[in-house]
A and B are shown apart, each in its own frame.
Chain A
Amino acid sequence: MEALTHLLHGFAAALSLNNLLFAFAGCMLGTLIGVLPGLGPAAGTAILIPLTFSLDATGAIIMLCAIYYGAMYGGTITSVLINVPGEAASVVTCIDGHQMARQGRAGSALGIAAIGSFVGGTLATVALVAVAMPLASLALKFGPAEFFALMVAGLCLVVGLAGSNMLAALLMTVIGLLLAMIGIDPVRGAPRFTFGAEELYDGIGFVPVVMGLFGIAELLLAAEKRQTHMISAELKTWLPTRQECRQSAGAIGRGTVVGFVLGLIPGVGAIVPTFMAYVLEKRVSKTPERFGKGAIEGVATAETANNAYANAAMVPLLALGIPSSPTIAVLMGAFIINGITPGPFLFTEQPALVWTVIASFFIGNLLLLILNLPLVGLWAKLLKVPFSYMCTGILIFCIIGAYGLKQSLFDVWMMLGFGILGYLLRKLDFPIAPAILALILGPMMEKSLRTTLEISGGSFAIFLDRPLALAMLVVPVIVIGVLIFKPRSLSPLRESDVE
């Protein structure tokens, strides 16, 4: 009941003209980012951070969240029309979506994707309202030991999904944590690893690093390949038929559940729920042979799971302060830039802000549905913008984003350096997500651990007296150990499952 009252107040604030405009602009920009192949939600959200510098905290967060789920939907358009996923999570949509487009049913595919995204996103937000406050209340009972253990568990889960690349993921996590140590020591105030450079006293800027590792690296990879964007499918209608809606109803329901549940687990990337929802749908279908040949249920369940995941992934961020994916880590960075620390205290210290943002999720989902059905044709035209202009335009935003936060050209250099590093790491198949998450969690992890050890007089035995913290430390370590030494037959999800 308390949550409902807060939510109603949140709606009152979110429906103000300014906040509606921010949500609208965010949805438009996010969809644009999602449409551009290769530029994922993490890079897109990071690149667009400078647009929010002059906004108040609530407006900035509303706009960035809208960019996030707009980007999650935008990837669908290219998946269906040209068989190129705008972002990783849309890979599964290509399978049946593009087949539908080739059969002249592109409008039905995009329509059901928009409807599924709306239903999945909205139901996941309803569940978020129900779950977030109790979870935050529970987390309020946590001491520094539990918070440290929780952050270790979050990072372990991210690493645990790196598959055969587990050692590399663990190493990248440590590198991210070490980079987070640069700057003023958060407990004693002594400079560390700064080598006398004043620019490093504030630490390594999160925005230039993310822009480099995601934005610049993506552009360098794209520049190496010749980009040719051709629309191969035309749009005739915008809406699915009544029969197609009936066929998709169950798929949308199942996609919502899969997306929401997996969204709650840190480290599960957006692609996993879409794959799992698709595999589930194929298994429960009476006609599984239609999958891969233009089955509308395949598009409906993948897109629903995708958006349900996107909204559910906000639960660990808002309630526990744990980012569950690189894009959520970028959003967490944006929260911190605006002077807000996500976590359980958010619900007690800044209830107006957090409930306004949650209410804006409902509004954003509705805006996406209203906007995207009639504007699909317009988004498709954007694919004809030549790479030379798209690349240069994105670079302008990157430069402004890296420079704008601290008015430092040093940060622009850092962005370029991390861009080249990101390009090489991607080519060498080193996972970047664990390093990004570690970079943002590093200072909080260190502070929690050191406070814990100060309380215990330097003894690690304190973790033995805190069963919850001990469990959160031991279980993920065992899981990672099992995953490192597991037999190959235990691999949970294979691409062949969706072929």
Chain B
Amino acid sequence: MRQGRLIATGAMLAFCLFALWQSLLLSLTDRLGPGPGFFPFWLALIGIVLAVALLITTAREPRDPSEGEIHILPHGPGALRWLAIVALLAAATVAMAVVGFRISMLVFNAALVIALGERRWWAIALFAVLGSFGVYYVFTTWLDVLLPTGWLEF
């Protein structure tokens, strides 16, 4: 936990340093007053001070004896479910640009419920169809929400 917090705070410090550098590329003031870089510059500076203070505070904290039991990254059987959600969501986003919402969600729904433990084929099929073609119909026809059709225009 302590190590994880140190890494995360370090990443935030790097983000603030990057923001400071980028804000210096913009004008901080102009003839009308503060420029586009003014607010982000001061924010990044405050962020750097806070991140350094948090790094020092966290580094000086005494080690918690139960720290070893806390897993920051997913672990055990839950890690597979976690990975399935992230990987399938990423794959569906890529697929939507190519084959559109309906086909990509049909596969996504079926694959994810299987990955999360469902085994009844008829339930999987019904859910996949309703969650893709059914949802597409409801949102595009009744709620006027545009959904991706992909290169295939489907």
A residues contacting B by CB (< 8 A) are 50-51, 53-54, 167-168, 170-171, 174-175, 177-178, 181, 185, 187-188, 190, 192-193, 216, 219-220, 223-226, 386-389, 391-393, 395-396, 399-400, 403-404, 407, 409, 412-413, 416, 419-420, 424-425, 427-430, 445-446, 449-450, 453-454, 457-458
Give the Cβ gap from B62 to chain A, nearest Cβ, in Å. 14
B34 near A453 with CB under 8 A, answer yes
A395 near B86 with CB under 8 A, answer no
Between A and B, 14 residue pairs with Cβ closer than 8 Å are A174-B16, A174-B46, A188-B35, A192-B40, A193-B22, A220-B86, A224-B78, A386-B116, A387-B116, A389-B113, A395-B112, A399-B93, A428-B8, A454-B34
A181 near B81 with CB under 8 A, answer no
Which residue of A is nearest B75, CB measured? A224
Which residue of A is nearest B29, CB measured? A458
B85 within 8 A of A: yes
A453 near B143 with CB under 8 A, answer no
B8 near A393 with CB under 8 A, answer no
Tell me which of A51, A53, A392, A450 contacts B38 (CB under 8 A).
A450
Q: How far is the CA of A225 from the CA of B74 in the complex (A)?
A: 10
Give the Cβ gap from A165 to chain B, nearest Cβ, in Å. 10
Q: How far is the CA of A226 from the CA of B44 in the complex (A)?
A: 40
A388 near B117 with CB under 8 A, answer yes
B145 near A54 with CB under 8 A, answer yes
Contacts of B82 in A (CB 8 A): 220, 223-224
B15 within 8 A of A: yes
Give the Cβ gap from B148 to chain A, nearest Cβ, in Å. 7
- The A-contacting residues of B in range 20-63, CB under 8 angstroms, are 22, 26, 29-30, 32-40, 43-44, 46-47, 50-51, 53-54, 57
What's the count of A-B pairs with C-beta under 8 Å? 178
B129 within 8 A of A: no
A50 near B139 with CB under 8 A, answer yes
List of 7 A-B pairs having minimum Cβ-Cβ separation, nearest first: A388-B116, A224-B78, A454-B33, A54-B144, A185-B36, A174-B47, A223-B81
Contacts of B33 in A (CB 8 A): 450, 453-454, 457-458
Contacts of A407 in B (CB 8 A): 146, 148
Give the Cβ gap from A398 to chain B, nearest Cβ, in Å. 8
Tell me which of A220, A409, A430 contacts B85 (CB under 8 A).
A220
Tell me which of B5, B57, B118 contacts A386 (CB under 8 A).
B118
Q: How far is the CA of A409 from the CA of B51 in the complex (A)?
A: 33
Given A50-B143, A190-B36, answer yes or no on A178-B15 (Cβ-Cβ < 8 Å): yes
Tell me which of A181, A386, A403 contacts B43 (CB under 8 A).
A181
A416 near B148 with CB under 8 A, answer no
A428 near B127 with CB under 8 A, answer no
B99 within 8 A of A: no
Q: How far is the CA of A450 from the CA of B33 in the complex (A)?
A: 7
A170 near B50 with CB under 8 A, answer yes
Q: How far is the CA of A223 from the CA of B85 in the complex (A)?
A: 8
Tell me which of B53, B74, B75 contacts A167 (CB under 8 A).
B53
Contacts of B143 in A (CB 8 A): 50-51, 53-54
Which residue of A is nearest B36, CB measured? A185
Give the Cβ gap from B38 to chain A, nearest Cβ, in Å. 7
Give the Cβ gap from A452 to chain B, nearest Cβ, in Å. 9
Contacts of B147 in A (CB 8 A): 400, 403-404
B85 near A458 with CB under 8 A, answer no
Q: How far is the CA of A193 from the CA of B118 in the complex (A)?
A: 44
Residue among B26, B39, B93, B145 having the largest count of chain A Cβ atoms under 10 Å = B39
Contacts of B79 in A (CB 8 A): 224
Tell me which of A225, A386, A396 contacts B78 (CB under 8 A).
A225
Given A181-B40, A223-B82, answer yes or no on A427-B131 (Cβ-Cβ < 8 Å): no
Q: How far is the CA of A458 from the CA of B135 in the complex (A)?
A: 54
Given A178-B47, A453-B33, answer yes or no on A193-B54 (Cβ-Cβ < 8 Å): no
B39 near A449 with CB under 8 A, answer yes
Which residue of B is nearest A400, CB measured? B139
Contacts of A404 in B (CB 8 A): 139, 145-147
Q: How far is the CA of A158 from the CA of B19 in the complex (A)?
A: 24
Contacts of A420 in B (CB 8 A): 86
Tell me which of B30, B44, B84, B145 contacts A400 (CB under 8 A).
B145
Beyond contacts A220-B82, A453-B34, A458-B33: 13 other A-B pairs, Cβ-Cβ < 8 A, are A167-B54, A171-B12, A174-B43, A220-B85, A224-B81, A226-B78, A388-B113, A395-B89, A407-B148, A409-B96, A409-B97, A429-B5, A454-B32
Which residue of A is nearest B119, CB measured? A388
Which residue of A is nearest B50, CB measured? A171
Contacts of A395 in B (CB 8 A): 85, 89, 108, 112
Q: How far is the CA of A220 from the CA of B85 in the complex (A)?
A: 8
Q: How far is the CA of A16 from the CA of B27 in the complex (A)?
A: 52
Q: How far is the CA of A347 from the CA of B5 in the complex (A)?
A: 45
Contacts of A389 in B (CB 8 A): 113, 118, 127
A396 near B117 with CB under 8 A, answer no
Q: How far is the CA of A449 from the CA of B40 in the complex (A)?
A: 12
Contacts of B93 in A (CB 8 A): 399, 409, 412-413, 416
Q: How far is the CA of A188 from the CA of B35 in the complex (A)?
A: 8
Q: How far is the CA of A416 from the CA of B85 in the complex (A)?
A: 10
B9 near A424 with CB under 8 A, answer no
